[in-house]
Amino acid sequence: MHVNFFCNFHMMKHLLLLILPLTLLLQRGKTGDATFADRFPPDVVREHSNAYLTITNSTDHDVIALVRGQRDEYLRHVYIRTGEMHVFEKMPITRFYVQFKSRDFYFEDLERTVMNYGERHTFEFFYDPKQAVSYKQITEEDFFRH
């Protein structure tokens, strides 16, 4: 009985070591996922704007990028894995800025960018405490406001 218990315990331990990383991997989103679609209004899409915004995640962890318009209105959001990028197509013609959920923190880019017809903008998210002048930390409420 004692040997049987030890063998079963040993097998269960190995099984857990295999399942746990797989479970964590399955919970991780994919670049392009609308992770919080249930917490935001529908995306703002302008069919004929021919405007694009590429966001690159240059941090060592996944982020959720949120694009807001000139009146702080929600435009779009997306999950971006570390080292990957996402292209928002058919962006509205407006002045916009980007917010990020990064692990347990929320940030807002201090730069405002004008999006005109047919333009292609690129934004690279990195967070370096030495360059804190580029971002300000915001609250979860600020991030999820409509």
Instruction: Note the CATH architecture for domain 37-144.
Output: Sandwich (2.60)
pLDDT tens digits along 83-130: 999 999 999 999 999 999 988 899 999 999 999 999 999 998 876 656
Provide φ and ψ at 118, rounded to 5°.
75, 5
Domain ranges of the chain: 1-29, 37-144
pLDDT tens digits along 19-55: 544 444 456 899 999 999 999 999 999 999 999 999 9
